Amino acid sequence: MFIIKTHYSLLLSLLLLAACSQQKTGRTEAVSKAGLASNRQEMPQLRDLIDHLGLQGSVLIYDVEGNIYHSNDFGWADSRHLPASTFKIPNAMIMLESGIMASDTASIKWLGDERMFKSWEQDMTLKQAFHRSCLPCYQQMTRQLGFKQMQQFTGKLIGYGELLYDSTTYDRFWVEGSSGISQMEQIEFLQRLYQEKLPFSERTYQLTKRMIVAQSNAHYRLSAKTGWSIVGDQNNGWYVGFLEADNQLYYFATNLTPKEKFDMSRFSKIRKELTFSAFRYLRIAKKDWEEFQ
């Protein structure tokens, strides 16, 4: 039994790197529930690690050049969960396209209400609200947009799971209710965003792509968003995005649910740590890259 304490993220990497030599190379053909035919390759070592850590869920990585989906659990990757704050990606596009926000640097005024985090109790740009995951900021913009326009714009989000809401829930359906999106569908949406195949303007695409960059250097650019929903006593966490590295493109969507004995103080970071460990396991991350954060 492993003891996981202070060197938590390092342990994830070491466990998966140690398993690289045992990586299976067999590929199987499958058709996703979302309708795209693709190769699927299992990552059993990652499956065992997620289970050992006291989690349920999967990391899904799509290698564009190889046309291969990698995951520890394709059944989980095809199942739907509340989009939570990952919906801030399409929601930001909606606010930009509608003109509610003039640009990613336009200000969202704090109305003086008490919020969950003190860091939310201030004026913010759209980009700041995105990276701070300011739920009340996005709710405020959504109310300004209005129910009918929200219906019109979400109708343009081709293939974005199933969004269920009415005039009383349109400002929070992504964090509560019966809406859902799968990891496969997250990646399909991100592909349409990257390839600019949704009915949005070129300006909206460019502002959105600029806004969602999490970090970059000479070797890679990482664009991503986390998400976290709580329904009753059940937590569910996301980490989705795409990685441009050395002229290669990878899409990813991680979705995790903690088991009863999981240390919830680690849940915020574990979504990213497992995703980056999976990249290292697939030998995508290089030694000379700065450490992912």
Q: Where are the alpha helices (DSSP H) in 68-122?
A: 74-77, 88-98
Residue in the block written with tokens 């400002």: 171
Phi/psi for 177 (5° steps) reads: 105, -155
Nearest to 282 by CA among 65, 30, 53: 65
Look at residue 25 in the predicted model and tell me its pLDDT: 36
Element (H, E) at 151: helix 147-154
Residues (pLDDT < 50) of the chain are 1-7, 10, 14, 17-37
pLDDT at 284: 85
Res 261: pLDDT: 87
Confidence (pLDDT) at 31: 35
C-beta atoms surrounding 177 within 10 Å: 15
Q: How confident is the model at residue 219, as a pLDDT? A: 86
DSSP 198: S
Q: Give the per-residue pLDDT at 218.
A: 85
The pLDDT assigned to 10 comes to: 46
Task: Tell me the pTM.
Answer: 0.88
pLDDT of 243 reads: 97
Query: Which residues are part of the catalytic machinery?
Result: 85
Residues 137-162: tens digit of each pLDDT: 999 999 999 999 999 999 999 889 99
Closest C-alpha among 62, 67, 60 to residue 39: 67
Q: In sequence order, which residues have a C-beta less than 8 Å from that of residue 46 and are 6 or more positions away?
A: 16, 59, 72, 274, 277, 278, 281
Residue 71 CA: distances (Å) to CA of 30, 41, 62, 107, 254: 13, 7, 9, 39, 9
| Cα distances (Å, whole numbers) of residue 102 to 48, 96, 117 | 47, 6, 26
Looking at residue 11, what is its pLDDT? 53
In this prediction, residue 293 carries a pLDDT of: 52
